[in-house]
Structure 1
């Protein structure tokens, strides 16, 4: 299996990892949406952060603190703010719309990443990427138009779009951090940031939470960790502007979750706009081989005894 994956181009391996991340990510949305409507969004994030940090501390007892040592503490802090800022916006939007609608609006994240990667990471802006971005923006506009009152954007839609921007920015930070940081540290430090920021806010707004609410908050944390781990594996081997469009696979996954758990179906116009966005993805070039970001200990959180350099061709 590893040898088969190693034969694929870096960009294609990244796309496969990102697709898996989207399949996991919809379960974050399901868990967040199943939390009682009486629980404030900030409290959900606080509950999730508490449970996630507790799990990480237990793991650290076995793997040691070496896994969370970092050379870029401020970058981790900013990424943590962006990560949980994105979650707040998305969880807020999920309170007002279906999972598939929220994920359709989040498709703009890939378009933002294409532009941000060009500006901040120096990735090449080709005519094909530019055309794909413009076409994708048209698709996003079509999805937004039915919900707009003149030029006013409903808060749920605004939350989803703001969440897309924050997620795009944290994806770029992840691309940079993979050069020196382990996957474990990149998953750990944002949770510490979340505890510092969201627990005080959650305490102020606190409402009684049932055991099921804690379970769903914990489930959201688990699937979010799994999702972000796969995203980190993706950005190690592929260009950020290439793997992000794989996030569009979240639409069929979220449609299935809406039907199974909530018996919901989005407005038909969502499919028109999403179809244009998918067409935009097809314009992007998935060929070539992206060089993995160098990191002397990048996979030690999974297999400390295996040399990362020896596994360079097998990283996915």
Structure 2
């Protein structure tokens, strides 16, 4: 999980370095195109093997939701400090918890409802509407959090219809196809340095997901989840050292509140283990 956290901070750092020189849709498309190249050895067997009835509709739905989320994330990452994007991103598992209750019929006990309310309070501490300007970058990152949560919920439905490898491979393929028209509509020339950075983003993201999967296989969420929250520390240091961003105490405080709420939900999932309740995971990423 420590290696996974470093990998995902590498993703955010490279996208932050790219800035606004590339449109968000184009940057996201190139990142996923590189990801599909990495997954080509697995895509062929997956497509030839076929899918259960109804699976393709869910793959398409997840691709559409994830496409919007990725565009929003790239847009926010180019305009907000690294730590701020990371802190708001911690809303993902909270939104997954709410979505599982609304769309999958899972029970949402009072203590979990209170934890969700605390997490929302943490988000308000970060955004501070009325106290400071809430920019389009902030709104984009909040939208991305909703989108990634929706993508994870669809993936949960797909987990009973296809293998984990097929779900990941098809997500990459569908998102690449979904991003293509948006990218072509705003296409600008790309430099070799930008291509290299986006290839690095794809490599870091692949590494992050692989390390996270390995960690989940050998340790419970109560062990792995807290390590994930170190990403906020790494992201803050990255912003300070590389991008000379000032440390916003309110962002750290709000992120801490969200982390506390997610940690409580994770602990409750351990207590209620094997009762069919969706575990809150960080629905990552781009």
TM-score interval (norm. to shorter): 0.7 to 0.9
The whole-number CA distance in structure 2 between the counterparts of 1:117 and 1:228 is 22
Q: Which residue of structure 2 aligns with residue 37 of structure 1? A: 20
**Offset at residue 157 of structure 1 (A):** 0.5
Matched, 1:116 2:90: no
C-alpha spacing 1:155/1:245, structure 2 compared with 1 (3 Å): farther
The whole-number CA distance in structure 1 between the counterparts of 2:104 and 2:163 is 20
Deviations 1:230-253 (A, max 9, x none): 66678899999xx98876443123
**Offset at residue 270 of structure 1 (A):** 0.9
Matched, 1:189 2:170: yes
The whole-number CA distance in structure 2 between the counterparts of 1:175 and 1:206 is 34
**Offset at residue 180 of structure 1 (A):** 2.4
Q: Which residue of structure 1 aligns with residue 192 of structure 2? A: 211
Q: What TM-score does the superposition give when structure 2 sets the normalisation length?
A: 0.80
Matched, 1:78 2:78: no
Structure 1's unaligned 5+ residue stretches are: 1-16, 294-316
- Aligned-pair Cα RMSD in Å: 3.3
Q: Which residue of structure 1 aligns with residue 181 of structure 2? A: 200
How do residues 261-280 of structure 1 correspond to structure 2 at under 5 angstroms? Answer: 261-280=242-261
**Offset at residue 29 of structure 1 (A):** 1.1
Q: Which residue of structure 2 aligns with residue 100 of structure 1? A: 83
User: Given that residues 82 and 235 in structure 2 are in contact (C-alpha distance below 8 angstroms), is that contact kept between their aligned partners in structure 1?
Assistant: yes
The whole-number CA distance in structure 2 between the counterparts of 1:280 and 1:48 is 32
C-alpha spacing 1:25/1:82, structure 2 compared with 1 (3 Å): farther
Q: What TM-score does the superposition give when structure 1 sets the normalisation length?
A: 0.73
Aligned length: 271
Answer with 1 or 2: which has the greater Rg. 1
The whole-number CA distance in structure 1 between the counterparts of 2:76 and 2:147 is 14
C-alpha spacing 1:234/1:133, structure 2 compared with 1 (3 Å): farther
Matched, 1:290 2:274: yes
Q: Which residue of structure 2 aligns with residue 50 of structure 1? A: 33
Q: Which residue of structure 2 aligns with residue 126 of structure 1? A: 109
